[in-house]
Structure 1
């Protein structure tokens, strides 16, 4: 073999290769979403040197924590920062309801998913931690664990909380978008989700 297969992960899903076998043989180099995230230092360079925004260290740290280093969100934040007098105030309030973030996540992520996926994401937004049986309880349907694994493999803004694929959480900004979309749903349906989640 010519060398290890390089698998990059900007695509939305794992490629159709025998990844477990390649990984076990040491024939796979994986670059996952976590590897592509900006660190606080990279965020500072991007804003202060590339964008010439002159952010303070605490603003960089807040932005990096809020976006979890997600490069597309940092780019959207950079667009939003331009021309603002109170950059620190903007960063302090920067959430997934920023119009650029909402537009990106709705147009590029949610609308491109088959119908069960956005519904599942909305229904499972309420708990802060997601597990298969909890998702089953909240959605009122079986298959929550399988759906979580599909969403994880599809890079659908789920953060794994353990090495066993037992617990997950939504990315902070994605959770904000889901919360905003949940407010458009009938109040009775949302109350039922809260009751099931509890």
Structure 2
């Protein structure tokens, strides 16, 4: 048993992109909690454009709050616009240091991680701390 398993008392909970992304209905519920409502076509377009990422729903909610007619434009999302994952890549990943980008790219190939595996993949000695 490695330190990650013993530290988790034998329990493993995995989160992948499918668990982190919202369904269309979850996107609708999120927007409604924020006081925003979209018709089905606009909601479908928004969900497709944001690829279900919560941050995309949040950005849309802010846009709708500040631009009252933005809901009418939601059904045109995606036409000529890059997917939200490209936005995240440029504005989140792209803002990290080159060292941290390298670490994330190295760790990204593993389907499960432990401190020892993080050390092996990155050449670092603080893999467990890095994961925590």
Give TM class, smaller chain.
Answer: 0.5 to 0.7
More strand by share: 1
More helix by share: 2
Matched, 1:17 2:4: yes
Give per-residue Cα distances to partners, 1:45-69, cap 9 Å, x unaligned. Answer: 122x212222001111111121111
What corresponds to 1:29 in structure 2? 13
Distance 1:62 1:111, change over 3 A: same
Q: Distance in 2 between matches of 1:107 and 1:59?
A: 25
Give per-residue Cα distances to partners, 1:27-77, cap 9 Å, x unaligned. Answer: 312122321211111111122x21222200111111112111111121112
Matched, 1:109 2:82: no
Number of residues of Structure 1 aligned to a counterpart in Structure 2: 100
What corresponds to 2:118 in structure 1? none
What corresponds to 2:73 in structure 1? 89
Q: Distance in 2 between matches of 1:81 and 1:75?
A: 10
Q: Distance in 2 between matches of 1:107 and 1:28?
A: 31
Contact 2:27–2:52 under 8 Å retained in 1: yes
Gaps of 5+ in 1: 1-15, 119-146, 154-198
Q: Distance in 2 between matches of 1:152 and 1:58?
A: 36
Gaps of 5+ in 2: 111-132
